[in-house]
Amino acid sequence: MRLNQARVIVTGASSGIGRAIALEFAGRGALLALAARTQTALDELAGAIQTNGGRAVVIPTDVTQDGAVDQMAKETIRQLGGIDILVNNAGVGLHAPIGDASADDVERLFRLNVLAASAAIRAVIPTMRAQRAGMIINISSMAGRIVIPRIGYYSASKFALTAIGDALRMEEGPRGIRVMNVFPGTTRSAFGDNRLGIRGPAAHQRVPPVTAEKVARRVARAVERNQTSVYISFVPDRLALAANSVAGWAVRRVLAGWARSAQG
């Protein structure tokens, strides 16, 4: 998959990882369809891309609304002529113990992180099948590989998105459609500020964050190398995953200690 002249939808493009991916992809020649709820932020981003010689169109979209992602896909085809890549980035966190989270917060979390992402996939798949080519990029999380206490519902939503991506890869691979799951660790962005549930830092935020720009660079390189699973850093991401595989009991003991300390 080449990014140069690729027609790319980025959901949640107004800030954080989504914004960084849009800028990185545009710098490599991609044509961007920028989707998020906040038009002013999208207009600013599109202006920055165009100032640097790129092309971007703004498609204000609340991906949780019925029919919104179908309209997003149609508008992308109308303005860019097709869809080569979908970056499923829109998402929200939830910091709360399993037994204490509000039902409304849990529903909002799964509606955005799982159901809306799935709807976006269904909206673009017919076009990619007709082209016999395309790529779905799901921005999951290290919490989608290792269960972390006090963000257990968030972990569950990212485990679900990862499973959807893995199944989709097997189903659509013969039609030329590739699927990439991306597993960022703690990232320096406004994501935590917008998180549902308890205010303040979560247990996993003891780990030093990486920048959204580093995530974007890794994703861009992975697209061109046709990778299926993308980790951002060896330490702590890959190291933590390896430790969880060979000594899960030790990792769980550390995480349980974090949970106890968070309870005071």
Which position has the token pair 């003891």? 206
Other CB atoms within a 10 A radius of the CB of residue 179 amount to: 22
Encoded tokens for 139 = 């921005």
For domain 7-262, the CATH class is alpha beta
pLDDT digits (tens, 9 = 90+) for 58-108: 999 999 999 999 999 999 999 999 999 999 999 999 999 999 999 999 999
- How far is the C-alpha of 33 from the C-alpha of 169, rounded, in Å? 23
Residues tagged active-site:
154
Cis preceding-peptide flag for 236 (omega within 30 of 0): yes
What is the tens place of the pLDDT at every residue in 32-42?
A: 999 999 999 99
| Cα–Cα distance, 119 to 164 (Å, whole number) | 12
> 196-197 and 187-188: which strand pairing?
unpaired
Mean pLDDT of all residues in 139-167: 95
Confidence at 208, pLDDT banded by 50, 70, 90: confident
Residues 96, 152: Cα–Cα separation, whole Å: 8
Residue 223 banded pLDDT, cuts 50, 70, 90: very high
* Domain range annotation of the chain: 7-262
